[in-house]
Amino acid sequence: MKFIRQPLTHFFSTFSLNNFLLLAFGLPFLTEGLFLFLRQSFLDNRYRPFYLLLLFALIFLYSNFFTQVQAKEKALQNFSLKATGISLIFWLLLSPIFFFRFYHLLLVWQPLPAELLSFLFFYRRKILPVLILFYLAILYLLYRTILMPSYLKQGYGLKASMQFSWANTKKGIVEQFILFLLIPIAFFVISLLIKNSFIWSTQLLSSSNTAMLLLLLHRVSQNILRALFFLYLTVSPMSASTDSQTKASKIWLSLTVIACLSLYFLHYTQINQMQRATTPLTISHRGVSNRNGVQNSIEALKKTNKSMRPDLIEMDVQETADHQLVVIHDEDLKTLAHKNLRIDETAWKELKELSLKENGYVSKISLFSDYLTTANQLNQPLLIELKVTAKTKATIIHQLLPLKKELAGHQLQSMELDTANQMKKLFPTLSVGYILPFDLLGVPKTSLDFVNIESKTATGDLIQYVHQQKQKVYVWSINSKQQATVFRFQQVSGLLSDDLTVLSEDSNDIKSQTASILQFY
């Protein structure tokens, strides 16, 4: 592993405490301050497009600092417009990673057109892999040319600097895979582990003072990790400069650390004062609780209703080839019936003969009309998801119209935006929502009643935005007590779970509140 040991040895031999402290406290202070300013501007409805220039200035500052650190120079020493310009291009390409929060904040409050978002969400399984591969290719080119600024600083031209950088980053396939992909992924995984460890440690809290200390330690830990990753990117074959510290520089660095910690302290204090836990609706995901039957079966509906009495039972409806509405989640029957059949290509006559097996139970596919009748007899409100495919998009809603009277008191939702909007027009008295499969691109502006957000990608900014739009927020699926308590502090209106017992605790203590802050802020 010589190819790793040598860069690490060089890295620590050229380690600068000044640069490290600036990266761990100085630049994060500016970054956090700008982020909080932009977020508050959105909340107060006073955001202006030219504020983006501030983000560009922040990226420029990072790129200029990157050039200095890579060349082992002091601030503004031997300034090179070419080197800084190339570094700026690099950091603009890296900005979706390093400044992800800013991009996400902008997309939450200034979402893409609804039609485009709906298209991206509907075809996400095809589009996302292509985008990821394209971005990885860009990052690889950046990795091979990342030494250009240091060579430009030495007076070489663009072409020569690119050739030197390409030659110095040339490794074997295994070495390149580790240095380019595995080490950055390791930083990301460590960051997640740190976050999850701090969330777990909230169970040990006993007072608000220890909670604040934990929050500050978490931010400092994450800042240190990001600083180390920044310095990892700057490793170059150039010799080290002296890391001299004058009395004035020590004072400025000390003030920087104090200012950064003070900003975090004030931010967390404000959140602590504002956050209050709520009691959201309990919603059974796919009609089951703790594996008590086959998902979306009438038998599971009856059991869940009798034992748990949830506020809502969520279930899925699809249209068959002969235009019958059936209750099933998957578009095909490979998992539950081990049959290579698609629901929208199979007639009800064939589907009703099949047996579904799950959780040790056996059941049949139900007609939606039968499931709805049973729910009405049990006085059990439903959260009905219309699952749309390309073949059923034009017809599935019309199959609901004969059941308009029976649907009274139930709620409707869909992951397909046009379908959700049409349901709201056809059933104006019912509560209708849009299912957001992931929130990385924001949520379309609609006149619907609620948004159902996937828990793994849910963020505080998105939830806050939906509340600002006077819409309710549901979250799916919640399968641990800690998850449930964390989301209660986000004032969501409903929690979907495969095990309703995890929603039974109504915690409003400092442990749950701190875990929620760590998760979302």
Are 296 and 231 found together in one domain? no
Mean per-residue pLDDT pooled into runs of 10, the chain (521 residues): 54 70 94 96 91 95 91 71 91 93 92 82 85 93 92 90 91 83 92 94 90 96 94 71 67 92 95 86 95 96 95 97 96 93 96 94 96 97 96 94 96 94 96 88 89 91 92 93 89 95 78 90 87
Are 341 and 419 found together in one domain? yes
Are 268 and 297 found together in one domain? no
pLDDT at 504: 79
Q: Could you tell me the CA-to-CA distances from 334 to 7, 125, 319, 340, 344 in Å, in that order? A: 49, 19, 17, 6, 14
Are 78 and 169 found together in one domain? yes
Tell me if 499 is assigned to some domain. Answer: yes
Element (H, E) at 227: helix 208-233
Q: How many CB atoms lie within 10 A of CB 160?
A: 14
Are 135 and 222 found together in one domain? yes
CB 492 within 8 A of CB 474: yes
What is the rounded distance in angstroms from the CA atom of residue 439 to the CA atom of residue 34?
22
What token pair was written down for 407?
Answer: 């649907």
Are 326 and 194 found together in one domain? no
Are 358 and 255 found together in one domain? no
Tell me if 141 is assigned to some domain. Answer: yes
CB 311 within 8 A of CB 281: yes
Tell me if 206 is assigned to some domain. Answer: yes
Tokens 């509140």 belong to residue: 513
Are 84 and 157 found together in one domain? yes
Tell me if 510 is assigned to some domain. Answer: no
Task: Select from 247, 274, 301 the last residue of a domain.
Answer: 274
Task: Select from 229, 246, 274 the last residue of a domain.
Answer: 274
Domain ranges, residue 262:
2-274
Give the whole-number percent of the chain exceeding pLDDT 90: 69
Tell me if 511 is assigned to some domain. Answer: no
Where b means 16+ CB within 10 Å and e means fewer, 418-432 reads: ebbbbbbeebeebbb
Count: domains in the chain: 2
CB 497 within 8 A of CB 478: yes
Transcribe 345-377 into DSSP letters: GS-HHHHTT-EEEETTEEEE-EEHHHHHHHHHH
CATH of the domain at 293: 3.20.20.190
Are 315 and 223 found together in one domain? no
CB 74 within 8 A of CB 241: yes
Are 88 and 144 found together in one domain? yes
What is the rounded distance in angstroms from the CA atom of residue 298 to the CA atom of residue 503?
23
Tell me if 144 is assigned to some domain. Answer: yes
What is the rounded distance in angstroms from the CA atom of residue 141 to the CA atom of residue 167?
13
Q: Are strands 450-454 and 472-476 parallel, antiparallel or unpaired?
A: parallel
Q: pLDDT digit string (tens) for 362-381?
A: 999 999 999 999 999 999 99
What is the rounded distance in angstroms from the CA atom of residue 477 to the CA atom of residue 444?
21
366 pairs with which residues across the strands?
327
pLDDT at 169: 87
Q: How many CB atoms lie within 10 A of CB 1?
A: 8
Q: pLDDT digit string (tens) for 419-459?
A: 999 999 999 999 999 998 877 778 888 899 999 999 988 88
pLDDT at 482: 85
Tell me if 517 is assigned to some domain. Answer: no
Are 360 and 250 found together in one domain? no
Task: Select from 250, 274, 298 the last residue of a domain.
Answer: 274
pLDDT at 75: 61
pLDDT at 441: 79
Which pTM does this prediction carry? 0.87
Tell me if 148 is assigned to some domain. Answer: yes
Query: 46: exposed, middle or buried (C-beta count within 10 Å: 0-12, 13-18, 19+)?
Result: exposed
Are 29 and 96 found together in one domain? yes
What is the rounded distance in angstroms from the CA atom of residue 363 to the CA atom of residue 244?
75
